[in-house]
Structure 1
Amino acid sequence: MHRYGTVVILVVLLVVARSMSDVFLTERNLLNVLRQISGTGLMAVGMLFVILTRGIDLSVGSIAALGSVASAILVQQMAPGLAVVATLAIGGAFGLLSGLLVAYLRLPPFVTTLAVMTIARGAALIASGGQPIRMGEAGAFITRFGSGYALGMPQPVLLMLAVFVLAGLVLAFTRFGRMVKAIGSNAEAVRLSGIGVSRYVVSVYVISGVLAAAAGIISSSRTGIGSATVGVGAELDAIAAVVIGGASLMGGRGGAINTFIGVFVLGIIANLMNLASVPGYHQQVFMGVIIIGAMLLQYGSTFFRR
């Protein structure tokens, strides 16, 4: 189940979804699901790298909010391409802050990223004055990306898929990917072999921050509005997707393909509840119960062996 549990969960959900709604498997609905999970998918990739090192990043939702606000402000002050790069740099800077505190000052990742989460959300609220910021004509380049299609698919979806493919290649075929997994499995052994563990740890938090800011840009590209309320609770969705995908919170185990399936599973659940007209508050309860069920399917065999 550790190896194939994620696929089993996906297949079961697809069968249930098909039996519940004739609309679910239509091209329009599936593309809608993929579009909706594109931001969460980017955050989940960053979270995967962090979790592989036995860390956690609770700041991704707030960095996404800051990315949404920053992109809406900066696009009115500079060229759209520069605004995007600057926004990603801001996300990377917050990731760098988390990474330095965790790697060099040995602060607990949970508490450290919780503090950075608060700082990033506060910065987003200050920059926006607590009000949505419209991009207007200056943001046409970004909004075209959010609503545009290429190769028959929404462009945010193509970006998400490209990031997942790149992450999979990095983890499977590069020294960086091998070191990230090795650090999660046994950081002390890696350190004793003469490899600088700290710089790898810093790097994964920077990656997480950059991808979280990219998720914020995607949000603002879809609505044409930068908002400090973007990404509330998104860190929990990203963590859930990674764990449903079979990654271990103790580090060292996890992959990009299974993480994508985990994100897709969450998207299917949300879509099914919308198609079934489940009230919003009830959806949160059902989502939590289903995630627990998925976790039991993934790790139940280990529990019962004990």
Structure 2
Amino acid sequence: MTVSDPSTTAAGATAASPATIAARTVPADRREPRAWKKWAGRVPGPLVGLVVIFVLLSILSPYFLTSRNLLNIVTQISAVGIMSVGALMVIIIGGIDLSVGATLALSSMVMGYLFSYSGMPFELALVLGLAVGALIGLLNGILVTVGRLQPFIATLATMSAATGLAVFITGGNTVNGFPEWFVSLTRLSIAGIPVQGLILLAVFLLAAFWLRLRPGGRALYAIGGNEEVARLSGIPVRRTKLVVYTLAGLLAALGGLLVTSRLDSAQPTAGAADLLNVIAVVVIGGASLAGGTGSLLGTFVGLLIIGVLNNGLSLLGVSPNLQPVVLGAVIVAAVLTDRQARKAQSGER
């Protein structure tokens, strides 16, 4: 009696290899994702949205893709971008700062009041204006860490107080007549790039260096991921939160100085519409309001999306009343696109 060779089948063909058998038995939803899915997973969702918006506006408006308009976009997004850096750091640690717009207005009004009404040297008034922003941020941090208030409640309270003080200081009047060097600061360009654009870039690069390469910056992600674990690991949670909120206030004040320079006017209602833009920039950039995630690169892309979109809608003559509707739709689309990209990267279906 002969025993058939297991390496051959009844038809004489060779048996399937182990790799082939494994491929046939693995369920379809557990197989290795296709190459294009892997590639798509490496492309941030917000970046895809930015490219689509940029291409569409270039086709729809002949004035969009011009050097003058592109430089105008840089000018328009500088203040919001600087505030977004501080807002991102606050969101990474699991908090939120609703007072950025009010801080911008109050710091500008304090600077203008000290210079125009009190006769203080402008340079000193400018420094004190920045200090007011930092103090508001520090107060937010104290309310959150020492007072144990929810960040939403704490910053909502300071937003209300700062808004009222900004109007009270001059009775609701604007302050004009700043020094020429200060006003011309936002009109100058270096190598064709507006100075405020260079300031924006410098703020992003410094923040990125701190978040990615310094232990203090990396600690923000640990705190946002699990505050108790971070504390047990030896991270000074309370001090780090105070620093983050103070920096957020200081950056809001810096944004206020750029707005004041560009308009040659300190206005008590300045920054009122910036809060939603700042939060939208950070969320579109991929940061989670739950904390622990977020990047400066994603935030920068989100900033460009907001800036390009607002500029393009104005060029197309879209009513200002409808622009927030379009912005809301873009926020939802960008978040959903980013979610799909992350699923593709992880091999999920």
Which runs of 5 or more residues in structure 2 are unaligned?
Answer: 1-40
Aligned partner letter, 2:190: A
Alignment of 1:39-58 (within 5 A): 39-58=79-98
- Matched positions, count: 304
Measure the CA separation in 2 of the matches of 1:132 and 1:122: 14
Higher Rg = 2
By how many angstroms is 1:300 displaced?
5.2
Q: Which residue does 1:114 correspond to in 2?
A: 156
Per the alignment, residue 16 of structure 1 pairs with: 56
* Higher deviation after alignment, 93-102 or 123-132: 123-132
TM-score, normalised by the number of residues in structure 1: 0.94
**Mapped partners of 1:151, 1:85: distance in 2:** 28
Alignment of 1:201-220 (within 5 A): 201-220=241-260
Q: Tell me which residue corresponds to 1:126.
A: 168
Report the alpha carbon displacement of residue 301 of structure 1 after superposing the two structures with TM: 6.7
Q: Compute the displacement of 1:73 (Å).
A: 2.1
Contact 1:2-1:246 within 8 A present in 2 as well: no
Residue 122 of structure 2 corresponds to: 80
2:208 aligned with 1:173, yes or no? no
Find 2:231's aligned residue among 175, 179, 191.
Answer: 191
1:85 counterpart letter in structure 2: V
Q: TM-score, normalised by structure 2?
A: 0.83
Give runs of aligned pairs for residues 1-306 of structure 1, distance below 5 A. Answer: 4-76=44-116, 77-134=119-176, 136=177, 138-299=178-339
Seq. identity, % = 41
Cα distance, 1:299 vs structure 2: 2.8
CA RMSD, Structure 1 to Structure 2 (Å): 1.9
- Maintained 8 Å contact 2:46/2:335: no
Counterpart residue identity of residue 206, structure 2: L
Q: Which amino acid aligns with 2:58?
A: R
Counterparts of 1:116 and 1:265, CA distance in 2: 29
**Alpha-carbon distance, 1:2 to partner:** 8.5
Residues 156 and 74 of structure 1: is their aligned pair in 2 closer, same or farther, counting only changes over 3 Å?
farther
How far residue 9 of structure 1 moved from its aligned partner, in angstroms, is: 1.3
Q: In structure 2, what residue type is equivalent to 1:132?
A: T
Deviations 1:240-261 (A, max 9, x none): 1011111111111111121111
- SS of the counterpart of 2:226? helix
Which is richer in helix? 1
Listed one character per residue, the Cα deviations across residues 202-242 of structure 1 (whole Å, up to 9, x for unaligned) are: 11110110011111111110111110110113121111101
In structure 1, the gaps of 5 or more residues are none
Aligned residue type for 2:169: A
| Counterpart contact for 2:105–2:166, Cα < 8 Å | yes
Aligned-partner Cα distance in 2 for 1:71–1:38? 20
- Tell me by how many angstroms 1:303 deviates: 9.5
Give 3-state SS (helix, strand or coil) of 1:22's partner: coil
Residue identity opposite 2:138 in structure 1:
L
What's the secondary structure of 1:75's corresponding residue?
A: helix
Q: Is the 8 A contact 1:2 1:299 kept in 2?
A: no
Between the aligned partners of 1:254 and 1:114, the Cα distance in structure 2 is: 23
Q: CA deviation at 1:82?
A: 2.0
Tell me how far apart the structure 1 counterparts of residues 140 and 150 of structure 2 sit (CA, whole Å): 10
> How far apart are the structure 1 equivalents of 2:341 and 2:297?
22
1-side partners of 2:153 and 2:43: how far apart?
Answer: 31
AA paired with 1:169?
F
| Matches of 1:93 and 1:151, distance apart in 2 | 35
Alignment match, 2:23: none
Q: Distance in 1 between matches of 2:237 and 2:182?
A: 37
